[in-house]
């Protein structure tokens, strides 16, 4: 009960010999004082025992008295009872720390706290209302920060202080991090930035060299143990493009290191593949060297190697496999030098019987296109009759300044001269002629013409060479 009446208090040493009536409850004493309209309360004080100290009201020659139990006034006594305090000592100590209830005071005293401000922060952060649920969850939890002394988290305030020391002010964030095994907010935030949900995963991934959870999780599915191996795997996957084994990717890389003209026997290539595999082997638990499970192999024997060298288009960019002689000859196409079938380009593949005349302009257009694709040595081979057939002979000098213009020697077919140049210099050939007749005359042409010949179109002065444009990463 809140006391509405204001009292004046007087300390006395003794009291007159009047009859006295002791009241048991402070509420009754306060109500009696109000009914008697008494505003003066006498206080006795005992140095030895608070039970001998009293509040006294004198009315009608009678003392009405109530034990003070160490309280300084009736207002404090009734406040203490209302707030649940069992004694005056706790009540006045709580008042110094601005605590409102005995329960608040006990919670904080248990945690060694004397300031209610900490309790307010704990309430605002959600630690007070969630403590019981946390305590039950902690009892059953299997995942929480290593080294945590659960016995010290025995109150909501203790929990708040613990979380605050770890960098957390909000219970929900603390709860998520704590039961994911993170020891502090700094590590939790760092792990979250990289997509990790659990501290154990983050620590293992970091130790193994992974940069984020996505790569770590994908690597675990593939049974890849380290970040280095995973990035190696990704590099292989990119180069393999879903078509090649990783051993085939490595063999292509090795072939690219040999100079033009080098001949490699099938046995040498088989040994080379074995060297590649040995390089990627690691020791298992028993110390035995084995290939990792993620390393995809297609070249299991010499027959596999021969088939790969004969049929793969990327292999053909490095040279030609001779099935009869069982050797591979390095014959890499130049990315700087290129030959044009002069007459074919001048006519722009038009049917000569239609009456359309050849034009040097087509050669100029083609030269400009090839220069944009980083070709620096552009050769045009044509027979001598082309100069007399073109409709724009006046730009002949301009053509010669733009490209290296060659006329086939007399009594020599321009096609023959052109094909021999392409064959021995390993260059691309711009032409829409398929050279079918020549395939029967020269095995090299039969095996390589589709590799070196680049078809084209010229429409409205626009040149298109898809084969080179799709491969422009090589020429740029």
167: left (phi over 0), alpha (psi -120 to 50) or beta: left
- pLDDT of res. 475: 44
DSSP three-state, residue 107 = helix
**Token pair 């090649």 in the structure block, residue:** 244
CA angle 299, 300, 302 (to 5 degrees): 80
- pLDDT of res. 31: 87
DSSP three-state, residue 141 = coil
Burial of 133 (0-12, 13-18, 19+ CB in 10 A): exposed
**Domain residue extents for the chain:** 8-81, 238-330, 337-475
Q: What are the residue ranges of helices labelled H in 111-256?
A: 116-124, 127-140, 156-165, 171-178, 185-193, 199-208, 213-221, 227-240, 246-255
Q: What is the pTM of this model?
A: 0.59
- Listed in sequence order, the residues at least 6 apart from 65 whose beta carbon sits closer than 8 Å to its beta carbon are 20, 21, 22, 23, 54, 55, 56, 57
Q: Report the 10 Å Cβ neighbour count for 161.
A: 20
CA angle 192, 193, 197 (to 5 degrees): 25
- pLDDT of res. 447: 81
**What whole-number distance in Å separates Cα of residue 35 and Cα of residue 62?**
15
115: left (phi over 0), alpha (psi -120 to 50) or beta: beta
Class of domain 337-475: alpha beta
- pLDDT of res. 122: 85
Asked if 91 contacts 85 with a C-beta cutoff of 8 angstroms, the reply is: yes
Asked if 445 contacts 438 with a C-beta cutoff of 8 angstroms, the reply is: yes
DSSP three-state, residue 170 = coil
Element (H, E) at 329: strand 327-330
Question: What number of H helices and E strands is found in the chain?
Answer: 25, 17
Q: With the C-alpha atoms ordered 199, 201, 279, 282, is the resulting torsion angle positive or negative?
A: positive
**What whole-number distance in Å separates Cα of residue 159 and Cα of residue 419?**
85
The strand ranges marked E within 84-129 are none
**What are the 10-residue block averages of pLDDT along the chain, 476 residues in total?**
79 79 89 88 74 85 90 90 90 86 81 73 90 94 93 89 94 96 96 96 95 95 93 94 94 92 94 95 89 94 95 86 91 91 84 74 96 95 91 94 90 87 91 91 86 93 91 51
Tokens of 210: 């992974």
DSSP character at residue 462: E
Asked if 380 contacts 363 with a C-beta cutoff of 8 angstroms, the reply is: yes
Tokens of 267: 């046995």
- pLDDT of res. 476: 39
**What whole-number distance in Å separates Cα of residue 286 and Cα of residue 273?**
25
**What whole-number distance in Å separates Cα of residue 213 and Cα of residue 215?**
6
Asked if 316 contacts 451 with a C-beta cutoff of 8 angstroms, the reply is: yes
**Token pair 């007087």 in the structure block, residue:** 10
């Amino acid at each position: 009960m809140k006391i509405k009446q204001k009292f004046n208090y007087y300390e006395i040493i003794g009291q007159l010999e009047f009859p006295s009536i002791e009241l048991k409850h402070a509420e009754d004493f306060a109500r009696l004082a109000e009914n008697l309209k008494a505003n003066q309360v006498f206080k006795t004080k005992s140095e030895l025992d608070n039970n001998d100290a009293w509040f006294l009201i004198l009315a009608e020659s009678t003392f009405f008295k109530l034990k003070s139990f160490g309280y300084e006034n009736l207002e404090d006594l009734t406040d203490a009872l209302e707030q649940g305090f069992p004694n005056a000592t706790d009540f006045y100590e709580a008042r110094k720390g601005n605590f409102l209830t005995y329960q608040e005071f006990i919670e904080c005293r248990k945690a060694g706290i004397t300031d209610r401000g900490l309790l307010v922060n704990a309430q605002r952060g959600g630690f007070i209302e969630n403590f019981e649920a946390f305590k039950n969850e902690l009892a059953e939890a299997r995942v929480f920060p290593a080294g945590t002394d659960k016995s010290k988290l025995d109150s909501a305030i203790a929990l708040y202080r613990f979380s605050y020391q770890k960098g957390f002010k909000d219970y929900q964030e603390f709860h998520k991090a704590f039961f994911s095994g993170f020891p502090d907010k700094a590590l939790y935030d760092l792990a979250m930035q990289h997509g990790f949900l659990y501290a154990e995963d983050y620590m293992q991934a970091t130790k193994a060299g992974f940069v984020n959870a996505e790569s770590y999780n994908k690597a675990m599915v593939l049974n890849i143990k380290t970040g280095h191996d995973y990035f190696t795997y990704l590099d292989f996957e990119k180069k393999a493009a879903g078509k090649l084994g990783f051993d085939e990717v490595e063999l292509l890389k090795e072939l690219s290191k040999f100079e033009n003209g080098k001949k490699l026997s099938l046995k040498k290539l088989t040994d080379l593949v074995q060297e590649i595999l040995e390089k990627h082997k690691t020791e298992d638990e028993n110390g035995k060297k084995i290939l990792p499970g993620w390393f995809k192999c297609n070249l299991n024997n010499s027959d596999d190697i021969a088939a790969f060298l004969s049929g793969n288009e990327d292999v053909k960019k490095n040279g030609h496999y001779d099935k009869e002689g069982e050797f591979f000859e390095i014959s890499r196409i130049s990315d700087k030098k290129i030959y044009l079938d002069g007459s074919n380009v001048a006519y722009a593949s038009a049917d000569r019987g239609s009456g359309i005349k050849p034009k040097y302009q087509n050669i100029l257009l083609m030269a400009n296109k090839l220069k944009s694709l980083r070709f620096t040595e552009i050769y045009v081979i044509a027979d001598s009759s082309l100069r007399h057939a073109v409709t724009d002979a006046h730009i002949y000098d301009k053509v010669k300044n733009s490209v290296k213009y060659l006329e086939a020697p007399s009594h020599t077919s321009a096609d023959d001269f052109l094909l021999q140049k392409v064959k021995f210099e390993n260059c691309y050939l711009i032409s829409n002629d398929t050279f079918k007749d020549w395939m029967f005359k020269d095995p090299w042409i039969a095996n390589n013409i589709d590799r070196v010949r680049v078809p084209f179109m010229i429409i409205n002065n626009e040149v298109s060479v898809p084969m080179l444009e799709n491969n422009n990463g090589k020429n740029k």
